[in-house]
Amino acid sequence: MRMSDFAKQILKVCIGFFSEIFYNIQKTMDLYYFFIAVVAIYLVVYSAFFFFYSKKVQKIENAIISRFLLKVSKIPSLIEVMRNFVADESAFDSLTKLHSTAMIHRYETIYVLLEHNARIQAEFAFLMKLSMQIPDLQKHAQFVYIRDFIIKYEHDIKKFFDSYNAEVECWNRFVFFKNCTIIGLLLPGRKKDFI
């Protein structure tokens, strides 16, 4: 009889031990599922914000790029009109090279475009100073139209800078919050510079 009580005690201990193990495994599995669910929700939210903010920034970048290309496309016409009034052909050499480079280049970031735009704008300013010394050129209707067109698109480009900077600020805030987690450090998306 004592053996049977002892066996019952061992059986109770074993059952208790294994039930405790199964309970802990179940608890651990619940934690794994919870962790997986949290990671999945994080990735879904991250993806939504990533695409939302990146598309907003990209939309403004594309608008700036299109205005820049419209502006640059008028440079050959400007040179052709001015060529009839300017004796020295070398005045157009650097602008012609910059125009060719700007039209061939594929702009994946706005910062490369801004560098090209600054160089083109400096050469355009030089040609405008040169044109101020030629009164007949200042009265030429086609020259005035092209000049005003280029100036208008330069102003349009600069108008987009404020909205671009606002979107970049939102993007950078998103990247900051993303990088607050270990998972976020592994995901794509880095800070952008302001214009």
pTM of the entire predicted model: 0.76
Please indicate, yes or no, whether residues 25 and 62 belong to a single structural domain of this protein: no
Considering the domain architecture, whether residues 114 and 150 belong to the same structural domain is answered as yes
Residue 28 and residue 65 share a domain: no
Confirm whether 48 is domain-assigned.
no
pLDDT reported for residue 184: 83
Pair (90, 138) in one structural domain: yes
Say whether both 9 and 99 belong to one domain. no
- Centre a 10 Å sphere on the Cβ of residue 153 and count the other Cβ atoms it contains: 19
pLDDT band at residue 74 under the 50/70/90 scheme? very high
Determine, yes or no, domain membership for 49.
no
Give the integer Cα–Cα distance in Å for 78 and 143.
6
Same domain flag for 91 and 181? yes
Q: What CA–CA distance (Å, rounded) separates 143 from 82? A: 7
The tokens for 79 are: 């040179």
Round to whole Å and give the CA distance between 173 and 181.
14
Cα separation of 125 and 106, whole Å? 25
Cα(158)–Cα(169) distance, rounded to whole angstroms?
A: 17
Question: Count of domains in the chain?
Answer: 2
Q: How confident is the model at residue 16 (pLDDT cuts 50, 70, 90)?
A: confident
Residues 12 and 79 reside in one and the same domain: no
Percentage of the chain beyond pLDDT 90 is: 52
pLDDT-above-70 percentage for the chain:
88
Q: Is 47 within a domain?
A: no
Confidence of residue 75 (pLDDT cuts 50, 70, 90): very high
Residues 105 and 194 in one domain: yes
Same domain, 135 and 60: yes
CB contact set of 84 (below 8 Å; sequence gap of 6+): none
Higher-confidence residue of 4 and 178: namely: 178
Average confidence (pLDDT) over 78-102: 90
Q: What is the mean pLDDT of residues 94-119?
A: 89
Same domain, 15 and 93: no
Angle between helices 141-178 and 75-83 (to 10 degrees): 150
- CATH number of the domain enclosing 70: 1.20.1440
Each residue's pLDDT tens digit, 112-149? 899 999 999 999 999 999 999 999 999 999 999 999 99
Minimum mean pLDDT range among 15-19, 158-162, 171-175: 15-19
Domain that holds residue 17: 1-42
- 119 in a structural domain: yes
Q: Are residues 86 and 131 in the same domain?
A: yes
For 58, phi then psi, to 5°, come to: -65, -35
Q: Are residues 140 and 186 in the same domain?
A: yes
- pLDDT higher than threshold 70 for residue 166: yes
- Start-to-end CA span in the chain (Å): 90
Q: Which pLDDT does position 1 carry in this prediction?
A: 46
